Amino acid sequence: MIKKILLILIIFSVCLPNTFLGAQEHFDTDSIPSLKTLAEARGKYIGTAVDIRSLKYDPECSQVLADQFNVITPANALKFDATEPGRNIFSFKDADAILNFATIHNMKMRGHTLVWYLQIPSWLAKGKHSKEDLKEILHNHIKSVVGRYKGKIYSWDVVNEAFQSNGTLRRNVWLNNIGAEYIELAFRWAHEADPNALLFYNEDGIEMRNKKSDAVYELIKKLKAKGVPIDGIGFEGHFDLAPEGTMKNMAANIKRFAELGLETDFTEVDVTLAENILRKKFYKIIPNGKNILDALIQKKILLDISLTKVRLRYHINNIENAVRNIAGEDFDKVWAILKQSYINSPTINKEKKLEKQAKIFNDVCTVCLNNPSCKIIIFWGFTDKHSWLRRFHNDDAPLILDQQYHPKPAYYKIIKAFQNKESN
Ligand code: G3I
């Protein structure tokens, strides 16, 4: 009998993770107000993306989420592949669960995303669609998804990442079969489905003035002039430790979008510690570089883009042909980059990296705080434990809390930015 009681006691104590000590144990809630309290005091919202699995299976994640944030973006639950796995066959289980959590905790919810080139279901990606057929598919998808959450999801990333870094429209199933008008149609259909929802164009890599942000600016300006219902721009804010420009550049670039009458929010902020020299080269040197890099990773040809080397799956017969099939006319440039199997990157120590990271988070908050058209800052996750970036580098630490939910320098910089009344 004694043995049995002892055994039960041991099991209970082992299963009592620090989650029962809870996030309070990590947060000094006596002297530091929550992020959402500080944001509200400055007339802003602060939110985070969340994956359904973290919400369901990590109690500390849901506790910190409820305590610290007042906006939530489902990282995947509202994407095409999740919501319409079969043609006109919808599934909202995960999105409903996240909306339910948001409702219970009095949080706003952003819808992400209706039209993108990734995470589309195979029936759509592999199907042969005429222009009219694909327009019907897209119209029905938007009407069904936005209509279901009418009045409950306050804003939508209607179109996501339609441009390439060189300022041309990204080739995708929508552009190839409908043409560039798919963007305007998507906004008009989303507005029909919920006239009160704020409709955003969301893009990566447009925080600074560059070919891509110029192209997005010109398109949105043209569409707004035609009366297309676009309310905001989502500057994703996926930074690394060497952003393209300064805080001043970022503020000036965002200001011109604000002058179009748009809300200008940061929608997916994280700051990778990995100095992705390879990634930057792909994006900079190769017009279709992001797609090619994604494809090399998704087809597991490129196994890792680590700081010091490119790991290719050499045991594929004739790796060169496998890369050629993906890279097409860009093969020579791609192969030249990939052949650099050792990329010497400036290795700086972790503390220095965390300081640089904290400065970038501070800059984002400062630009938002100093800009009336910026209402919301959304982090693409808040603990390194659940960051999407760790699939590229398992030791990456791109967010404001570490894997044990301990605040990092970035967290304290953000607190200071929100508490500091003068422009930071
Ligand atoms: O759901 C399946 C699961 O059933 C399966 O077992 C597993 C096996 O790999 O895959 C799961 O799907 C993964 C999905 O995330 C849900 O976790 C996909 O493989 C994975 O590719 C997908 O990654 C998402 C990524 O977009 C896709 O490009 C990340 O979670 C998500 O954070 C990320 O978010 C994007 C934004 O939507 C747009 N802006 C860029 C941002 C980062 O890429």
Kindly list the averaged pLDDT for each block of 10 residues, start to end, along the chain of length 424.
45 33 60 94 98 95 97 98 98 98 98 97 94 98 98 98 93 96 98 98 96 97 98 96 88 98 98 74 78 80 53 59 87 78 50 93 97 98 94 86 96 95 52
Return phi, psi of residue 9, to 5°.
Answer: -60, -40
> How many Cβ atoms sit within 10 Å of the Cβ of residue 396?
18
Determine the distance separating the centroid of ligand 1 and the alpha carbon of 79, expressed in angstroms: 10
Return phi, psi of residue 237, to 5°.
Answer: 80, 40
Exposure b/e, 283-319, CB count within 10 A at least 16 = b: beebbbbbbbbebbeeeebbeebbbeebebeeeeeee
Determine the distance separating the centroid of ligand 1 and the alpha carbon of 236, expressed in angstroms: 16
Ligand 1 pocket residue status of 94, Cβ below 6 Å: no
Are the beta carbons of 158 and 190 closer than 8 angstroms? yes
Beta-carbon contacts of residue 413 (< 8 Å; ≥ 6 apart): 358, 359, 361, 362, 365
Helix or strand (DSSP H, E) at 9: helix 2-14
Q: What is the DSSP letter of 377?
A: E
pTM for the model: 0.83
pLDDT at 278: 64
* Ligand 1 atom showing the smallest separation from residue 381 Cα: 32
Determine the distance separating the centroid of ligand 1 and the alpha carbon of 248, expressed in angstroms: 33
* Ligand 1 atom showing the smallest separation from residue 298 Cα: 21
Determine the distance separating the centroid of ligand 1 and the alpha carbon of 7, expressed in angstroms: 40
3-state secondary structure of 383: strand
pLDDT at 316: 52
Which of 160, 170, 271, 388 has the most ligand 1 atoms within 8 A of CB, as the residue to mutate?
A: 388
Ligand 1 pocket residue status of 119, Cβ below 6 Å: yes
pLDDT at 323: 84
pLDDT at 408: 97
Ligand 1 pocket residue status of 118, Cβ below 6 Å: yes
Q: Read out DSSP for 297-336?
A: HHTTSEEEE-SSBEEE-TTSTTHHHHHHHHHGGGHHHHHH
3-state secondary structure of 109: strand
Active site includes 268? Answer: yes
Ligand 1 pocket residue status of 204, Cβ below 6 Å: yes
Residue nearest to atom 43 of ligand 1 (CA): 388
Ligand 1 pocket residue status of 388, Cβ below 6 Å: yes
Which of 171, 70, 76, 83 is closest to 377 using CA atoms? Answer: 70
Determine the distance separating the centroid of ligand 1 and the alpha carbon of 283, expressed in angstroms: 20
Which of 374, 370, 380 is closest to 424 using CA atoms? Answer: 370
Active site includes 351? Answer: no
Ligand 1 pocket residue status of 75, Cβ below 6 Å: yes
* Ligand 1 atom showing the smallest separation from residue 112 Cα: 37
Determine the distance separating the centroid of ligand 1 and the alpha carbon of 117, expressed in angstroms: 13
Which candidate in 84, 203, 268, 275 is catalytic?
268
Residue nearest to atom 29 of ligand 1 (CA): 388
pLDDT at 90: 98
> How many Cβ atoms sit within 10 Å of the Cβ of residue 399?
27
pLDDT at 341: 41
Are the beta carbons of 324 and 198 closer than 8 angstroms? no
Pairing state between β 232-235 and 238-239: unpaired
Rg, Å, the chain Cα set: 22
Determine the distance separating the centroid of ligand 1 and the alpha carbon of 113, expressed in angstroms: 13
Beta-carbon contacts of residue 304 (< 8 Å; ≥ 6 apart): 310, 311, 392, 393
338: which 2 tokens? 């990939």
Which candidate in 161, 207, 236, 263 is catalytic?
161
